[in-house]
Structure 1
Amino acid sequence: MVPCHPEVPLSSLFSVVIVGRPNVGKSTLFNRLLGRRKALVHDQPGVTRDLNIALLERDGLTVQIVDTGGIYGEREDALLSLVEEQVHVAMEGGDLVLLLVDGKEGLNPVDEELARRLIKSGKPAALVVNKVDVEGHAPRSAEFYSLGLSPVFSVSAEHGTGAEELWDFVGSKARERGLAPAEPPSAEGSIRVAIVGRPNVGKSSLLNRLLGQYRSLVSEIPGTTRDPVDAPLSAGGRDFVLLDTAGIRRKSKTEKGAEILSVILARRSLETCHVALLVLDASQPPSHQDAHIAGLIERSRRAAVVVLNKWDLLGGEERAKAAEEAVRERLHFMPYLPLVRASAKTGRHVDRVLPMTSKVYDRFRIKIPTSVLNKTLADLVARVSPPSIQGKELKIRYATQTGEAPPILTLFTNSKLPPPEPYARYLKNGLRESFDLEGSPLIIKFRAE
C-alpha cells in the first residue's frame, strides 16, 4: 500500500476511462501511460492488485487512469453485456473516454457498437488505434474513421509509438476542464452526506432505511448531467442531503464493474460532500478496497463516520470487539474515525448514524478562539518540551486557526524547519484530543517567524 498524498486534492483528479473489446491492448496502454515515464506514478492506497485504477502525476496534472479490461475477462461471449458494462463505467466515471481498437485485426462490430453508444452519450471521447507498430502500418487507421469518433490517434501501446501525442491530448482536456481544487460546500443549509463503500456492504439498505426513517423532507432532486439524485431529509433538528442516491442504488452486472464503479462514484461524491459515511460489512474482515476508499476520504480532506453494517450477524460481544479491532487495524492511518454499529436490515442503531454525522460535521466546521488554542498549546509544550533542531532549541511562539472544513492550525516557530515527526504528531494528537475533533481531519502547519 502506498500512502496518500494529501497535497494533491482529490477533487483535482481528471478521470480517463479506457474501453474496448477484449485483446485490443487496454492493459498495455494503461501500463504505457503509467509506467514507462519520468512521472511520479503511484497506486491509490489499498487497491486490490487486479483493480486497474491508478494515478499519474505529470506536467503539473493529476490524472486518474481507469482500465475497464477484465470486467468480463478475455471472453468473446456476452459481448452485448460487455459493451453495456464498459459504457456504464465510462459514463459514470469518465471525464474523458478512450476507445481502443485493434489496428491489426481491423474494424469489428463491437468497436462499432461501443463507438455508437459513446457518440450517443455525448461523453468526451477519442479513438485510439493500437498496434500501429511501424510507419508502414499507418494505413491501418484509415478504416476506423468510419466510426465517427474524433480525434483519432495511431499508437503502439507495446512500443510507445504515438503515446506522447495521446498524453498531450489527455493533458489538454484535463486543463480545459479546470483543475482548481473544489472548496467544501457552504456551511449554509444542509449537511451534505456521501454514502460510500465497496459493493455488497449494504449502502442501498442503509440509504433506504435512512429515507424510510426520516420522511419529513424526502423528495428527489435531479442533479447534474450524470443525473445523480440527491435526497433531502431532516433529523434531530438538522437538515441533511444524501448525495447521488441513484448511484448508490445502481447495480453493475459484474463484480469487477461494481468494484470499479464503487471507487469512481465514491470519488465523485466526496468532491461535494461535508461528511462521508464509509459503510463496511461487519460480518467480514475489512478488505484492501475498504482501506482504499478510506484513503480516498483522507485524500479528500472530508469528515467521516464508519458505519459497521450487518452488525446483527456477529452474535456475541467478543466477536463484535474483534470486528472493531480489525477495522481499527486496517484503517490505522485514520484512527480518528468514529465507529457506529448498525444493522440496516433490522434498523438496529441506524438512529445513531445521523446524530454522529451531525457531531462530526460540527467538529469539521469548528472555529477555535485564538486565546483558547494558545493556552492549550502552551499546556502541551509545558508537558513535553520541543526538541532541538540542528542544535538550536525549538520555540513555538503562538498558533492561530487559518482554515476550517477541515480545521487548519498554523504554529509559528523560530525555525525554518518543522519539528521532528514524532513531536509534530504529539502536538497534533494533543490538539485533536483537546478539541474533540473526532471524525474530522486536522491539518497542522509550521511557519517560521
Structure 2
Amino acid sequence: MSKPVVAIVGRPNVGKSTLFNVLAGEMISIVKDTPGVTRDRIYADVDWLDREFTLIDTGGIEPDSRDIILSQMREQAQIAIDTADVIIFITDVKQGLVDSDSKVADMLRRSGKPVVLVVNKVDNFDKYMADVYEFYNLGIGDPIPISAASRLGLGDMLDAVIAHFPESDGTEEDDDRPRVAIVGKPNVGKSSIINRLLGENRVIVSDIAGTTRDAIDTEIVHNGKEYVFIDTAGLRRKNKIKEELERYSIIRTVSAVERADVVLMVIDATEGVTEQDAKIAGIAHERGKGVIIVVNKWDAIEKNDKTMREYEAKIRQVLSYMPYAEIMYVSAMTGQRLPKLYDMIDMVIENQTLRIATGVLNEIMTEAVAMQQPPSDKGKRLKLYYITQVAVKPPTFVIFVNDKELMHFSYTRYLENKIREAFGFRGTSLKFFIRERKEKDQ
C-alpha cells in the first residue's frame, strides 16, 4: 500500500514552515547512513494514529509583491493538486481573510481534491473564534483553528487529514501489477523511454502548455504481463527560477516514488552522473524501493573496451549509498536494450518481495559472527541472539542483540553483505532494525 501524500499550501508568513517542522518533528534529521543525500526540507514522514503519510511543503522562495504572491500561490496550489492526495490549506487568523486566499481556494475547490482548511496563529480559542468563522466564506469546508507554534489543535487537524485517506479495503492490494516510476532530471529522456516502450507517442499529449495532471500512469503489456509506468516528466516549466524548478521536480519525484515498487533512475550518458541525480536517487533509496539506474543516450557515447567499466565506477562513486542498484545502458532513440528492462524489473520486484526463512537467516548470522568477531567496548562484547525477517518491499530484518550501542553501523553492513552473498537481493535496499534483549530474557 503506498503512503498517501499530503501537501501544505498557503501565503507567505502564515506559518507553513512552522507547521511542517512541528509535524515532521525530529524526524527530519537525515538518515545517517546515506552520505551524499542532502535533504532539502521539502518532505518528511509523519504518522498519526497508525496512519503514515508523506508531508510535502510546497513553499519555496517567498515573494515580496502582491501579484507575485498570488501567482506563486497558484503555482504551489497547482503542484499540490498535481501530486497530493490531501491538501492542507493554511491561513492566518491575525491577517484575516485575504483576496489571494479566496482565489487559491477557488482553484483548490475546482480541483476536486480533498482540502483541509486550517486557520493558524489561534493561540487563544475564546478570543479568536469569531475571526475563525470568517473563513467559512472560502467555501471549502469547516475551518480548523490551530496554533502551529504552540502546538494547539493539531490533533483535530490531523484527524481531518487522515479522514480523507482511502480506507485500505484491499482494492489496491489486489492490483499486483508491477508499478514502475521513471524519475530523473529534466531532459534525460524519461518520456522518450516510455514512448519507446509503448511504441506510440502517448505521453507527449502532456506537453501542451498549461495542462494540469497527476503524473500520468501508462499501462504497458509486455509478453502478456501488465506493467504500470508512472511518469514524472510532467510539465516543462519555462522561465522558472532554477531552485523552484528543482524543488518542483523533487516534489514530483517523491509522490511518484511513493506509489512505485521499482524506480528507474534515468541518467543522461552524455552528461554523466551529477549531484542532482544523487539527490533524486536518494529519495528512492530512503523510501526502500527497488532501483535500476538507466543510463540513456548510450548510443551517443564514444566507446572503447573500458568505457562501460569506467562509467560504472563513476556512478558507483556518486551513488555510493546504493551499491545494490542495478545499472543498464540503453538508448531511447535506437531502442537499444530497452526490452531487457522488463526482465530487470521482474527480477528486482522478485527480490523486493523475497522472504527468507528464519532458520536459514540465523545460520548465516552464526557463520558470519564466527568469521568476524562482533565489536566490543570497554570489555563488553556485542552478542547477537537472533535474526528474523519481518517485512518485504523492502526486505526488512530485526536483529536481537545484548546492547544496541555496541552494534556499529559497519557490523550491520557486514551482516547485510553476508545476506546478499547468500541471496543476491539485487536491485533492492535492505532494512535492519536492532532490538535489545537483556541476558535474562534468553
TM-score (norm 2): 0.73
Mapped pair 1:98 → 2:89? yes
Q: CA deviation at 1:91?
A: 0.8
The match for 2:26 is 40
Query: How many positions carry a matched residue from both structures?
Result: 415
Distance 2:292 2:130 in 1: 56
Mapped pair 1:124 → 2:111? no
Distance 2:217 2:75 in 1: 24
Aligned-CA RMSD value: 4.6
Q: Which amino acid aligns with 2:410?
A: P
Mapped pair 1:176 → 2:176? no
SS at match of 1:356: helix
Residues 259 and 97 of structure 1: is their aligned pair in 2 closer, same or farther, counting only changes over 3 Å? farther
SS at match of 1:241: strand
SS at match of 1:118: helix
The match for 1:291 is 278
The match for 2:227 is 241
Residues 74 and 282 of structure 1: is their aligned pair in 2 closer, same or farther, counting only changes over 3 Å? farther
The match for 1:115 is 105
Residues 103 and 356 of structure 1: is their aligned pair in 2 closer, same or farther, counting only changes over 3 Å? same
* Candidates 163, 166, 178, aligned match of 1:191: 178
Q: Deviations over 1:285-324 (max 9, x none)?
A: 5445433332332232221111122334443457765554
Q: CA deviation at 1:182?
A: 12
Residues 366 and 141 of structure 1: is their aligned pair in 2 closer, same or farther, counting only changes over 3 Å? closer
The match for 2:206 is none
SS at match of 1:277: strand
Q: Which amino acid aligns with 1:17?
A: I
Residues 322 and 148 of structure 1: is their aligned pair in 2 closer, same or farther, counting only changes over 3 Å? same
The match for 1:344 is 332
Q: Deviations over 1:63-113 (max 9, x none)?
A: 624133439x556567886565333212123312315479659733x4332
Residues 213 and 315 of structure 1: is their aligned pair in 2 closer, same or farther, counting only changes over 3 Å? farther
* Candidates 38, 42, 45, aligned match of 1:53: 42
The match for 2:139 is 148
Mapped pair 1:427 → 2:415? yes
Distance 1:188 1:105 in 2: 46
Q: Is contact 1:56–1:65 with CA below 8 Å preserved after alignment?
A: no
Q: Is contact 2:182–2:263 with CA below 8 Å preserved after alignment?
A: yes
Distance 1:412 1:40 in 2: 25
The match for 2:7 is 16
Q: Is contact 1:232–1:239 with CA below 8 Å preserved after alignment?
A: no
The match for 1:220 is none
Q: Deviations over 1:138-183 (max 9, x none)?
A: 98778665432343467898xx4xx634634432234434699999
Residues 40 and 87 of structure 1: is their aligned pair in 2 closer, same or farther, counting only changes over 3 Å? same
Q: Which amino acid aligns with 1:114?
A: V
* Candidates 259, 272, 276, aligned match of 2:263: 276
Matches within 5 A, 1:337-416: 337-368=325-356, 373=361, 376-388=364-376, 391=379, 401-410=389-398, 415=402
Q: Is contact 1:281–1:310 with CA below 8 Å preserved after alignment?
A: yes
Distance 1:48 1:416 in 2: 30
Distance 1:67 1:54 in 2: 9
Residues 408 and 77 of structure 1: is their aligned pair in 2 closer, same or farther, counting only changes over 3 Å? closer
Distance 1:214 1:183 in 2: 33
Distance 1:403 1:238 in 2: 29
Residues 334 and 174 of structure 1: is their aligned pair in 2 closer, same or farther, counting only changes over 3 Å? farther
Q: Which amino acid aligns with 1:42?
A: I
Distance 1:104 1:369 in 2: 60
SS at match of 1:92: helix
Q: Which amino acid aligns with 2:142?
A: P
Q: CA deviation at 1:283?
A: 3.3
SS at match of 1:279: strand
* Candidates 296, 307, 314, aligned match of 1:309: 296
Q: CA deviation at 1:117?
A: 1.5
Deviates more, 1:437-446 or 1:130-139: 130-139
List runs of 5+ in structure 2 lacking aligned partners: 203-212
Distance 2:224 2:421 in 1: 25
Deviates more, 1:38-47 or 1:127-136: 127-136
The match for 2:55 is 64
Distance 1:334 1:146 in 2: 50
TM-score (norm 1): 0.72
Q: Is contact 2:9–2:59 with CA below 8 Å preserved after alignment?
A: yes
The match for 1:266 is 253
Distance 2:175 2:22 in 1: 47
Q: CA deviation at 1:210?
A: 1.5
Q: CA deviation at 1:432?
A: 0.9
Q: CA deviation at 1:207?
A: 1.3
Distance 2:269 2:169 in 1: 33
SS at match of 1:39: helix
Q: Deviations over 1:362-386 (max 9, x none)?
A: 2223344566545544543343233
Distance 1:249 1:37 in 2: 29
Deviates more, 1:202-211 or 1:134-143: 134-143
Distance 1:213 1:38 in 2: 42
Q: CA deviation at 1:433?
A: 2.3
